[in-house]
Amino acid sequence: MRVDLSYLGRSEVRSAADGLELSLSPNLSRGRVFFDGRVKDPIRYREAMSALHDVVVSDLRYKKRSGSAAYLAYLEAQKQEEAALSKQVRAETKAEALSRQPKVPPKDLEKRFRAMHQKYWKARREWANELQRTDPEMWRALVPCDPVITVAPDVVFFEGFAKDESAYGCLLIDRDAFEPGAAEGLGTTNVDYSMALYESIQTLRTYRPTRLTVDPHGFDVKVEGLPEHREEKIDLPGSWLKGFGQITAAMMLPSRTVRLDVPAVYAVLSFLRRNKEKQGPRSLSFQLRPGQTPKLLLEPWGLTVDGGLRYDGPAEETIKVWGRRRLMALSRLLPLADHVEVRLLGTGLPSIWTVVMPGARFILGLSGWTTNDWSKGAALDLLGGLDAPDPLTTARIAEHLQKERLVKPGNLAMTLALDPQKVGASLFLLAKQGQVIFDFAHGVHRYRPILPVAMTPELLGPDHPELVGAREIIAHKGGAAVSRDEAVGKLRLVVGKVGDRTDVELAMDADGIIKQGRCDCSYFYTSKLRKGPCRHLLVLRTTVLEGLRPSAKTGRWGWS
């Protein structure tokens, strides 16, 4: 999809009479949105925005390495040569420095340091601006789309989606985190973003008062022809847009909530930073027992970390998540956090991590696997329910949310006199279309159009036929009847009847990934697993791994 961006000037951190001003330039192609308020704690804001930056530019997809023996030998020779040269230069430099070292520091040391520091950051900013101006393709490879800001009646929040489409970041700042008297214009828009802005944010300090402004000046003047006005047209892939909607929808699904203290999360990140796994499984297991503290198991090392805070869930269970190294984005926030809340949808499914800070929340949404982006996850759509949303109901809810900005889940059905189940199906659809977000930190649905228009099925493209077929099997043919589920070597072998197919068979590894399969349908016969599992394997895997069971009360599928 082509997205039009129009900005007057650039976002920047500049000096003001009373300190610093972080001025964000809004997208003039969207509605008028503005904000002006003084931040009470600049350090917390700086670290949270830096964490959001780490999420947006992250790309942990596997990079294939060259297998050439000659190339590997060349790299090893280069490494040894550089190490020898570095050792020699270090020794010579140290000897020279010691020979002319004065007994006292020079009087102008601080002045020289500041001058060199300023020279370095000036060069960094110039490079970032030059890159954005002369090589937009490379810049957009780092940041596919400018971050989104929403000014709501009770919070201001920023959102971004990772380049590799596997992680989502959202920073919610309560109005109490700003000094009273902030000016506002409610709505959602993009804000101009650059590496130079990120580097400038690193200069925020507690001793310098900081104002956050979303400048509305461009809406009040005729910008055409002005030298500081610029327009940009970017092509966002359908998978990126669909992924943004999928994580929003995932936040509405039933989940287990686990509270962890900060030392537990720090211990996990510290161990991962110091150790590299060389074999599977690579999961992070949550061992949950009601009334006890949760245990975090790091595989394959077998390290157990105590979660520190009591778990009050309904039953004893173990839930595994993957792609744990993406949690490194939370490192800068831990010194400022009160605790961390984790919402688990199930084994192999997305997880939502919330860092709770005074006056702010940082949400990190992770897909089931680093390489399994939101747009390719079949189980997530299956968990969303099988009720088809009514178009008229969906339109009424969207209109009401646009007017009210935020509503509590129970109040929406009561106010509009609608069936709660139909309301849930419509909200799930609006979330996937990028129009609504569920803020579980405050327990409300918020109107937040990620784009000026809803992401329609025509825009996002149809679902994969095998995914559609899997939904139909679960809805009309009773899902899968498992006849065999056992460990065979290092794999888990599952055999069962799916729909009208008997003896459907799959073998999963310790990470829940299908390694082998067998089915007599035409899709599997022609492509095996090269193009992904068939609908029957999807249903069988979903049944045994995610624990889906039919509900006699509602006829929908949920956690057993």
Question: Which domains does the chain carry?
Answer: 246-383 (3.10.150.10), 391-460 (1.10.10.10), 465-559 (no CATH)
The DSSP-derived string for 171-217 is: EEEEGGGB-S--EEE-EEEEB---HHHHHHHTT--TTS-EEEEE--H
Residue 334 DSSP code: G
Beta strands in 175-332 (DSSP E): 183-185, 187-190, 210-214, 229-235, 256-260, 284-288, 295-298, 303-306, 317-321
Mean pLDDT over residues 304-323, rounded? 90
User: Is 6 in contact with 27 (CB distance < 8 Å)?
Assistant: yes
Contact 32, 135 (CB under 8 A): no
The tens digit of pLDDT for each residue in 227-273 reads 777 677 776 766 777 777 777 788 887 788 999 999 999 999 999 99
DSSP state letter for 266? H
Q: How far, in Å, CA of 7 to CA of 30, rounded? A: 11
| pLDDT higher at 176 or 315 | 176
Residue 297: strand, helix, or coil: strand
Instruction: Provide the mean pLDDT of the chain.
Output: 81
**Pair 349, 342: CB distance under 8 Å:** no
Residue pLDDT, tens place only, 320-357: 988 899 999 999 999 999 999 999 988 877 899 999 99
Q: How far is CA 534 from the centre of its chain?
A: 28
**Nearest CA-CA partner of 372 in 364, 360, 380, 383:** 380
Burial of 459 (0-12, 13-18, 19+ CB in 10 A): middle
pLDDT of amino acid 451? 81
Distance of CA 225 to the CA centre of its chain: 38
Q: Residue 455: pLDDT above 80?
A: no
Q: Given this model, what pLDDT does residue 516 score?
A: 85
Q: Give the 3-state secondary structure of 107-133.
A: CCHHHHHHHHHHHHHHHHHHHHHHHHH
pLDDT of residue 279: 81
For position 557, what pLDDT does the model report? Answer: 32
* DSSP characters over 387-409: PPPPHHHHHHHHHHHHHHSEE-H
What is the chain's Cα-based Rg? 26
> Which residue do the tokens 């027992």 mark?
289
Specify the range with the lowest mean pLDDT, choosing from 41-55, 233-247, 484-498.
Answer: 233-247
Residue among 489, 491, 485, 487 nearest 508 (CA): 491
Lowest mean pLDDT among 20-29, 133-142, 348-357: 133-142
Which residue in 532, 544, 535, 528 sits closest to 494, CA to CA? 544
In three-state secondary structure terms, 36 is strand
* Exposed / middle / buried, residue 391 (Cβ in 10 Å: 0-12, 13-18, 19+): exposed
Q: Residue 129 CB: number of other CB atoms within 10 A?
A: 14
Note the pLDDT of residue 554: 32
- 143's tokens: 């940041």
Q: Does residue 559 have a pLDDT over 50? A: no
Whether the pLDDT of residue 319 is over 70: the answer is: yes
Residue 42 has pLDDT above 80, yes or no: yes
Alpha-carbon dihedral of residues 38, 41, 44, 48, nearest 10 degrees?
A: -10
pLDDT tens string 375-423? 554 445 545 554 567 888 888 999 999 899 999 878 888 888 888 878 8
CA gap 407, 398 in Å, rounded: 11
Arithmetic mean of pLDDT, 428-451: 87
Q: Is the dihedral of CA 41, 47, 50, 56 positive or negative?
A: negative
Contact 513, 522 (CB under 8 A): no
Q: Residue 410, Cβ neighbours under 10 Å: how many?
A: 11
Please state, in angstroms and rounded to a whole number, the distance separating the CA atoms of residues 435 and 445.
10
pLDDT > 80? residue 103:
no
Contacts 24+ apart (CB under 8 A), 269-277: 269/327, 269/328, 269/330, 269/331, 269/334, 271/298, 271/301, 271/303, 272/298, 272/324, 272/325, 272/327, 272/328, 273/328, 275/301, 277/301
Return the bridge partners of 211, or none: 21, 38
